[in-house]
Amino acid sequence: MSSAGKLSPATAIFIIIIILLSSFSGNFTVGCYTSIFSFGDSLADTGNSLHLSQTIGYHVNSGTFPFGQTYFHRPTGRFSDGRLIIDFIAQHLGLELIPPYFGERNHDMFMPGINFAVGGSTAMNDSFFDQKGIHEPYKNVSLIHQLSWFKQILPSYCHQSNCREIFNNSLFLLGEIGGNDYNHAFADGRSFEEIQTFVDPVIHSISNTIIELIEIGAVTFIVPGNLPIGCISIYLNNFSNSSKDYYDPETGCIIWLNEFSQYHNDKLQTELTRIRDLHPHTTIIYADYYNSAMAIFRNPSNYGFKEGELGPCCGGSNDKVSSSKNTDEKYSCDGPETKTCDDPSEYINWDGTHLTEAAYKWIFKGLLKDYSYPPMENSLCNGGLSLHHNEL
């Protein structure tokens, strides 16, 4: 071969590296986000409420087994038997699991990001509920507080000169948040009409937080909507009705509660469109938790779940753990003697309020494929360069 046809040593090494990289299975991801900053409630909490409970003194059952049994094999403070949607997002992007803000904090461990989400959190501040006389079990953990924690950590995380660069390569997960604003009111016996008036203030709080984060330097957001609460075990129990017309014949979910979730989600999407128009340089992805979950509730067997099973895997009385409308009024998924189903992967509902790891996995896969706007797979990383359908 002539010298013109020979490869230089550097070029040969480069080609070998490319071949080796391309030979990896779908589990390999080329990361384009270095960090995830997360805000929200128990659907995204990776341990903050557990750490807070040790200082504030309120009981958090997510710190006891069987929570965490499926993936971590120990309780981590996550309100599920395993991973949450935020965990699947991090793993899909090739990042480590995002550590909670509270607890064993170490600034060196913040490279994959920080999670400020706390179980029981609300979008509205405590004073909103105090003025309405609504009992709020968890104080000082609202979205407003979470944003203040983020601002407090900024001097330790980045300097004025490089914050923008870091945030350009960061993903901001804002939610799910707002569900507890309604949950507390429903639990307090407030009317549908009154609770519906909470939606605009909740959306306003979410909107203000997004805009503040944009002003700080955030560029890419995932903003989830609310889940279909009419399919959640505790709502099926607390709002049971003898009328067949009360329930969706296809799913067994309570129709009016799901319509309420859709009302919130419609308002949220309208507001996200407004923010996109004001800040065209940002990417704001609406994550449609509702419809991704409803795809599972409509055809559970397609995803490996039991047909017609809306009861919780964990909690309830010994003979009613599988019942959707006759479970104990207060679920008990707390401690080693708790009754659990044999296989959590066959159940959508975990503890009456939260979902199983299996459900969260399928919801996340649905978000990637069909249930996000703009499409998550195409919007992340300038065309999805880092997103491969790895086995989760």
User: Would residue 41 show up in a list of annotated catalytic residues for this protein?
Assistant: no
Which residue in 34, 334, 275, 273 sits closest to 163, CA to CA? 34
- Name the active-site residue from 38, 42, 323, 324: 42
How does 132-170 read in b/e, with b if 16+ C-beta sit within 10 Å? Answer: bebebebeebbbbbbbebbeebeeebbeeeebeebbeeb
The answer to whether the beta carbons of residues 44 and 146 sit under 8 Å apart is no
Q: Which DSSP letter does residue 63 get?
A: G
User: Would residue 81 show up in a list of annotated catalytic residues for this protein?
Assistant: no
Tokens standing for 157? 């995380």
How far is it, in rounded angstroms, from Cα 36 to Cα 98? 7
118: amino acid identity, one letter: V
Which residue in 110, 103, 85 sits closest to 47, CA to CA? 103
- Name the active-site residue from 81, 87, 181, 351: 351
Which residue in 370, 175, 355 sits closest to 268, CA to CA? 175
Which residue in 202, 219, 211, 209 sits closest to 275, CA to CA? 211
The answer to whether the beta carbons of residues 226 and 269 sit under 8 Å apart is no
Residues 69, 73, 76, 78: what is their CA dihedral angle, to the nearest 10 degrees? -30
How far is it, in rounded angstroms, from Cα 156 to Cα 159? 8
How far is it, in rounded angstroms, from Cα 314 to Cα 341? 6
How does 49-78 read in b/e, with b if 16+ C-beta sit within 10 Å? Answer: bbbbbeeeeeebbbbbebbbbbebeebbbb
The answer to whether the beta carbons of residues 45 and 117 sit under 8 Å apart is yes
- Name the active-site residue from 41, 354, 372, 379: 354
Q: What is the longest distance spanned by two Cα atoms in the chain? A: 87
E-strand spans in 61-187?
Answer: 113-115, 170-174
User: Would residue 42 show up in a list of annotated catalytic residues for this protein?
Assistant: yes
How far is it, in rounded angstroms, from Cα 156 to Cα 107? 7
The residues carrying an active-site annotation are 42, 351, 354
